[in-house]
Amino acid sequence: MLALIQVLALDEKAKRSEDGRQKELQGQPRSSDSWRQLGKEHPELFRVHDEAGAPISLVARYVTPNIGDGKRAPSPAT
């Protein structure tokens, strides 16, 4: 789960498609059947949209500034 949080928090792209997750995370999660399923199991952290092209996003990214073209500022590294 921490790997998914890191990828979704630190990149300009606030959402990830299945292909994007596989590329960045290099495999399936150990604690769930898929990254999408892991997101559904933790609605306090993730938004999962079944019909969208990029179905998983980090809830915290919705409060960061939109920098245009569907991108949001990465979470600040402190």
The residue extents of the domains of the chain are 2-67
What is residue 66's DSSP assignment?
E
Give the pLDDT confidence score for residue 71 in this predicted structure.
65
Per-residue pLDDT band at 26 (split at 50, 70, 90): confident
CA angle 14, 15, 21 (to 5 degrees): 120
Give the pLDDT confidence score for residue 46 in this predicted structure.
92
Helix, strand, coil distribution of the chain in percent, nearest 5: 35, 15, 45
Mean pLDDT of the chain: 80
For 5, 13, 32, 58, 65, the CA distances from 68, given in Å and listed in that order, are 22, 10, 33, 18, 9
Give the pLDDT confidence score for residue 6 in this predicted structure.
87
Per-residue pLDDT band at 45 (split at 50, 70, 90): very high
Please state the rounded mean pLDDT for residues 3-12.
84
Q: Quote the pTM value.
A: 0.71
